[in-house]
Structure formats: structure tokens, C-alpha cells
Amino acid sequence: MSHLRPDIVERARELVSLYPEPRSALIPLCHLAQEQDGWLRPEAMEEIAALVGITAAEVRGTATFYDMLHTEPVGTYLVSICTNIACLLGGAEELLAHAEARLGVHAGGTTPDGRFTLEDAECLADCDRTPCVTVNHRYVGGLSIEELDALLDDLAAGRRSDEIPPHGTLVRVRRNGGLRVPLAQLAAERAAMAEAQADRARAAKDEEAAQAGAAGGSQGSEGRGTA
Amino acid sequence: MAVTDAPRIVTARMGFKDSHTLDRFLSTGGYDGLRKALSMTPEEVAAQVDAASLLGRGGAGFPAGRKWSMLRKDPVTYLVVNGDESEPATFKDHLLVERDPHQLVEGVLIAAYALQVTQAFIYLRGEFAFGLERLTQALNEAYDYGAVGQDIFGSGFSIDVVVHPGAGAYICGEETALLESLEGKRGFPRIKPPFFPAAIGLYGQPTVVNNVETMSNLPWIVLHGGAAFAALGEGRSTGTRLFALSGHVKRPGTYEVEMVKTTFRDLVYAPVYGGGVRGDREVKAFVPGGVSAPWFGPGQLDLPLGQDEVGNAGSMLGSGAITVMDASTCMVRAAWRITKFFARESCGQCTPCREGSGWLERVLRRIEHGGGREEDLELLLDASDNISPGLQWPPQQTTICVLGPSIPSSIHSAIDMFRDEFLVHIKEGRCPVA
């Protein structure tokens, strides 16, 4: 009995097929598993391992390297507050302290009801709107303390679910094109094209040499013919 | 104020609300550059990029044309686009991906054709969830339109492009770490030599790694010619470039400006750019090119935005991220926060970086929190010297990649420029500014 849902497995297989080597799909597959469970359950890591042809230990060993991949449960809403330099200058430390007090957890912690996980994030690359806040990796703008309070109220009441998908959902758009061209065919095409180019270059060179020969010593006197 | 009349090359469509759609793209010259490129030979396309002398826009500023020429000949080669924008205070690729994804796709296709690669990948940082959706949508449209995939526009050229999400790791912006990550592994940088991507890259095959902004310039360069691009800017710094302006300015944002003809002062004070410092306070210091770069003071505001000009002055334009700190900024706190970032993001392979970053962070933290010691400043410089011997610019390194030698930049700058401020923290246990 598969832990990952059939639709997730189907998408996983599609993703694996996009890459020359299956292991390349590891991170995308981890995102998919998180879309189902919110975090990487051991059973999910086992199945990902099988899908890309490595061991579950290798999946875990890789996943723990990355901040967005969670090997422990994460709240319904992952609230990330950037405190890096641009946001620091914009009051991020004060905003984070307020969020910690309001949610009753330190950065990195999850509220007892499992609703919110608070994160002291590194730069999220939205530095003209500070302090930068994301919820489930969706930008919600640079927020004042009052605006953050309003946002947390909204989330707690289940509002704004239209703009903020469930935690773990990375990409809602599915790829509809892809790998219509087998790599072996492409490599053969490239090789043929390179050969044709080499032929053209040789022909051009021959022609140049012939012209140089026809022009006699005048080219040589300009220093080209000595070699 | 020098605001030149240079054309907007990569932000031309940003005025439109629907700049990300295929309709808008096509009605504003979209995919014309690709069509033109396909009518030329791959060498002719590469020659135009070479003539443009387009410097890579990711951080290192290596000429794109030269990088391309170094690609080892092999039947299987790859193009990988670096969209792992994570250098703190850099948010230009974010804009390009979300607001003009088709322009990026077109640039990637032009490069793929010029280089005759087998497959192309666009690696976007995982935190760009919305950008990933926009780019995937654009790629879907491009496939349906016939701009990607089999026999593009009937040219006989075929290529597949894959959008690949990262999962949160600064180090994956380093090109060899990015390739490891794209292979489904931890983002550990590879040692160079021998692992120069152009020789041994993705899956051991020759690979070109280019930044998102570098790619986004290609449609314009092909349409208007490399010479037109090279006519903008000055010296080695040609064309326009995106600068991400943040911190204590009235109008933070991403601005496309002509290189060299514009100065830091123009960018910070011109009404169409930064509009001046908030509260009309003085600039105390600024980071000129991402937090890996040594800081500048008000005395350097008149430096031109050019790669060599800034390099010769002892720092770098790096990722194009300029962060302004006004008189109210505590420089101990700023240096501490930047160092904390490096300590968190060090991949852990090399001892000087892994251990050094954590040590430096703890010493800075205790100074900031009133527990500093007299000898701490020398300790900070000594530990920094162990990561980057001589604390010179450009930096020496004792590590596999340049994350390590980037750590001392802000520490060295802060102590050099604001030693008295550190001493007040240490001797009096308080901040003289805040």
C-alpha cells in the first residue's frame, strides 16, 4: 500500500522523466511529498528513494541539508520573517519579537495547536518591502506589527486561503510540455550539426587558402603567408 | 543627477500589468530575438554576445561570451540557468522571473541554440513559489506556441527546458554547488580545478552556468546587435544593469541603469531611483554589491557603477545589491547579522568557513549584547585572517568556494570604519547610536 497518493506518484513519475538521471528529481519529489503531508514522513522518504533509485538514508541526508524540506511536522501556516540586513534595517527584529510573543513560540517553534510555525528566515529576495514576510512561501509584503497581527487573525479564522495555499504546496501550475525530444536523438542532431559546421569551416578555409594563393605574394608581404 | 537616456533592455515590459503573459510578450517583440537567432548560425549568435562583452550578472562578473567559448566540445552538453538568487538584499532576478518570464525563456533558448546544448535547466530558488508558477506557466505557453521543444519555429533545432526548484540553501547559488543540487544531492561546492563546469559540469558533462539577468539580456542583444549593447556603458562594463536598492532610502526597488555613466550617488538620490535617504539623514555606510562585498562610506558615493571602477576601489558590484545604512544604524548589529547569515549558510565542508563563521558570529553577538572584551576586535580580525589570509581585496581563500572569504568582508569593513563604535559597545556595554 503506497503512502503517497496515486496522483502524487503520477506527478512524481512525470518529474523523474524530465531528467537525464532520476536522482535529479529528488528535490522536486520532496516538495511533492510535502504537498501531501506538509513534511517529509519516513514512509514518504522510502517511496521517494525507490522512485529515484537511491536509499531512504540518502533522501534524508540530502533533505536535511535544505531549509525548505522538513523532517519534522510543520504547522498549517509557515510564517517566515526575514531578519537579514535589509529587513533588519526595516525593523525585522522588533517584528519577529512581536510574533514570538503573540504566538507564544520562539522562532523555529510550532504553536501547540499545530496551526503556526514561526521562522526567522534568511533573505527572501523581496527587499524593497521590509520587513519581508512570507506565509507558506507566498509573499505577503513588508508588514508593520499591526499588519502582521491582522494577517495572523485572518489566517487563524481561515480567511485568505485563496491567496495562500496549504503548507508544502510549492507550485500549483503543472508542466504540460516536455521531453518530446529523446536525449539520444538530440545528441545525434547536435553531432550532425557540428560536423556540418566543421565542413563549412573547412570549405571556407580552403577557399581562403585558394584565394591567398591566387593573390600571390602580396598577402605574404603583409605577414600572413610566412607560416 | 545623471539619469541617462539608455534604453531599458530587460525591464522594457515592466510598465504593463500583464507583462508576464504570452500575449503581451508577443505584442512587444517577444520571441523575435529567437527567430532572428535561429536564422543565424550558432557561431554568429555567439559572436554577437561576445561583441556585446556582456559581463555575467550573477556576481562574479565573468564575460558571458568568454564563458561560452570555454565549453568543452562534446556530443552531450548542458545549459544551466542560475536563478538561486540568495545573496542578501538581491531581488532583481525575482523581478525578472515573475514579471517577464517569457523574456527569460527566450534568452535561454537563444543561448541553448548558440551553444548547441543537449538540454537546458532553469534552477530557481525554492522560495520563489510564485516565480516558479509564473515561469512554469510561461514555459507551458512557449511549448504550445512552438518556441520550445521539437523543431522550434520549423528551424530543425530542438531543445527541452526544465524548470527546477531548489529547496532553500544560499550555497546553491555557487555554480558547482548548484550542479550538485540539480543532481539531487546536498549543495556542496566542487573543487576547481578540475570541476570547472565548462569542462566537467552537470552529470560530468560540459556545462555553461549563466545567471537569469544575463539570459534576459540576450533577446535584445540578438535583435539590436552586440555593438549596440557595447555602445552603452563604458570600458569593460557595457550595457545596462539591474541594481537592487534597499535599506534606508525613500524609494527602495530594482532599477535598470546604464553602467558606469551612473554613480552610487545618482542611484541613492535621483528622484527616479532611490529619492534620497529616509528622513533626509546622512549615509553612514553602504553595501555596494551584496553582503559578500566590503562596505563603502559616503566618500565613495561618487564612484561610477562599473565593475572595474568599484573593484579598484576595494569592493565589488557583485550581485548588484546596494544596501544603504543611515546614521541611525548600529554597525555592530549590522556586521553581526550578516555574519550570522554566513554561519547559518556555510555548507560545512571546509573547516575555516564552518568553524570560523560560527566563532565570528558568537564573538560579534557578545559584543552586541554588552559582553564584549577588549581583545575581541583583534580576535575577530585574526579569525577572519584564518579564513582569508591577509584580508586583502580581491580575497585570498583557504576554502573550496568563495563563501568563506566573503565572511570577513563586513567584519573587516565595520571594524575599519567604525572601530570607536565597537569600543563603546565593549567598554560601556551600550550602543552609542541606538
Whole-number pLDDT of residue A187: 76
Please list, in sequence order, all residues whose beta carbon lies within 8 angstroms of the beta carbon of residue B353, skipping any fewer than 6 positions away: B342, B346, B387, B399, B403, B404, B407
Indicate the range of A141-155, A165-179, A187-201, B186-200 predicted with least confidence: A187-201
Q: What is the mean pLDDT of chain A?
A: 89
**Residue at A207 is within a domain:** yes
pLDDT greater than 50 at residue A217: no
pLDDT > 90 in chain B, percent? 99
Whole-number pLDDT of residue A201: 75
Taking only the tens place, the pLDDT of each residue in B36-45 is: 999 999 999 9
B263 burial (CB, 10 Å; 0-12 / 13-18 / 19+) is: buried
Q: What is the mean pLDDT of residues B47-71?
A: 96
**Residue at B2 is within a domain:** no
pLDDT greater than 60 at residue B27: yes
Residue A190, domain extent: 183-214
Confidence of residue B260 (pLDDT cuts 50, 70, 90): very high
User: Which residues of chain B lie closer than 8 angstroms to A85, CB-CB?
Assistant: 88-89, 247, 287, 291, 323, 334, 337-338, 341
Taking only the tens place, the pLDDT of each residue in B156-184 is: 999 999 999 999 999 999 999 999 999 99
Whole-number pLDDT of residue A220: 35
pLDDT greater than 90 at residue B201: yes
pLDDT greater than 50 at residue B323: yes
Confidence of residue B1 (pLDDT cuts 50, 70, 90): low
**B residues 88..107 contacting A (CB < 8 A):** 88-91, 93-94
**Residue at A173 is within a domain:** no
Which residue of A lies nearest to B41 if distances are taken between CA atoms? A197
**Residue at B292 is within a domain:** no
Q: What is the CATH number of the domain that holds A94?
A: 3.40.30.10
Whole-number pLDDT of residue B102: 98
Whole-number pLDDT of residue A225: 33
**Residue at B17 is within a domain:** no
Residue of B290, B338, B342 whose CA lies nearest to B318: B290
Q: Which residues pair with B247 in a beta bridge?
A: B324
In single-letter form, the type of residue at position B214 comes to: T
- The side-by-side arrangement of strands in the sheet containing A132-135 is A116-121, A77-82, A132-135, A138-142
Count the domains in chain A: 3
pLDDT greater than 80 at residue A222: no
Whole-number pLDDT of residue A224: 35
Question: Which residue in A82, A85, A119 has the most chain B C-beta atoms within 10 A of its own C-beta, making it the best mutation to test that interface?
Answer: A85
CA B64 to chain centre: 14
**Residue at B290 is within a domain:** no
Q: Are strands B119-124 and B161-165 parallel, antiparallel or unpaired?
A: parallel
**Residue at A124 is within a domain:** yes
User: Which residues of chain A lie closer than 8 angstroms to B139, CB-CB?
Assistant: 175, 177
Task: Tell me whether A66 touches chain B (CB under 8 Å).
Answer: yes
Based on the fold, state whether residues A96 and A58 are members of the same structural domain: no
**ipTM score of the complex?**
0.96
pLDDT > 90 in chain A, percent? 74
Which residue of A lies nearest to B74 if distances are taken between CA atoms? A191
**A residues 131..190 contacting B (CB < 8 A):** 134, 136-139, 169-181, 183, 185-190
DSSP symbols for B338-381: HHHHHHHH--SSSHHHHHHHHHHHHHHHHHHTT---TTHHHHHH
Q: Which residues pair with A195 in a beta bridge?
A: none
Three-state secondary structure call for residue A10: helix
**Residue at A226 is within a domain:** no
Q: What is the mean pLDDT of residues B80-84?
A: 98
Task: Tell me whether B74 touches chain A (CB under 8 Å).
Answer: no
Whole-number pLDDT of residue B384: 97
pLDDT greater than 80 at residue B345: yes
**Residue at B294 is within a domain:** no
pLDDT greater than 50 at residue A218: no
Whole-number pLDDT of residue B203: 97
Based on the fold, state whether residues A84 and A143 are members of the same structural domain: yes
**B residues 45..64 contacting A (CB < 8 A):** none
Which residue of B lies nearest to A142 if distances are taken between CA atoms? B252
Rounded to a whole number of angstroms, the distance from the CA of A216 to the nearest CA of chain B is 30
Residues in chain B: 434
Query: Would the CB atoms of B86 and A125 count as touching at under 8 Å?
Result: yes
pLDDT greater than 90 at residue B409: yes
Q: Which residues pair with B207 in a beta bridge?
A: B78
**Residue at A24 is within a domain:** yes
Q: What is the mean pLDDT of residues A112-127?
A: 97
Whole-number pLDDT of residue A180: 54
Based on the fold, state whether residues B268 and B224 are members of the same structural domain: no
Query: Would the CB atoms of B90 and A25 count as touching at under 8 Å?
Result: no
Rounded to a whole number of angstroms, the distance from the CA of A59 to the nearest CA of chain B is 9
pLDDT greater than 60 at residue A216: no
pLDDT greater than 60 at residue B111: yes
pLDDT greater than 50 at residue A223: no
User: Which residues of chain B lie closer than 8 angstroms to A138, CB-CB?
Assistant: 129-130
Residue B198, domain extent: 22-229
Query: Would the CB atoms of A138 and B130 count as touching at under 8 Å?
Result: yes
pLDDT greater than 80 at residue A184: no
Taking only the tens place, the pLDDT of each residue in A49-72 is: 999 999 999 999 999 999 999 999
User: Which residues of chain A lie closer than 8 angstroms to B148, CB-CB?
Assistant: 177
Whole-number pLDDT of residue A226: 34
Count the domains in chain B: 3
Q: What is the mean pLDDT of residues B131-139?
A: 97
Q: Are strands B283-287 and B321-326 parallel, antiparallel or unpaired?
A: antiparallel
Query: Would the CB atoms of B291 and A85 count as touching at under 8 Å?
Result: yes
pLDDT > 70 in chain B, percent? 100
**Residue at A178 is within a domain:** no
User: Which residues of chain A lie closer than 8 angstroms to B136, CB-CB?
Assistant: 171, 173-175
Partner-chain residue, chosen from A18, A173, A180, that has the shortest CB–CB distance to B162: A18
Q: What is the CATH number of the domain that holds B367?
A: 1.20.1440.230
What is the C-alpha radius of gyration for chain A, rounded to an integer number of angstroms? 28
Question: Which residue in B113, B162, B365 has the most chain A C-beta atoms within 10 A of its own C-beta, making it the best mutation to test that interface?
Answer: B162
Whole-number pLDDT of residue B327: 96
Rounded distance, CA A149 to CA A147, Å? 5
Q: Which of A20, A37, A63 is the last residue of a domain?
A: A63
* Residue B8 to residues A76, A84, A117, B111, B386, Cα–Cα distance (Å): 42, 30, 42, 21, 44
For residue A215, give the C-alpha cell: 593573390
User: Which residues of chain A lie closer than 8 angstroms to B244, CB-CB?
Assistant: 127-128
Partner-chain residue, chosen from A83, A137, A181, that has the shortest CB–CB distance to B337: A83
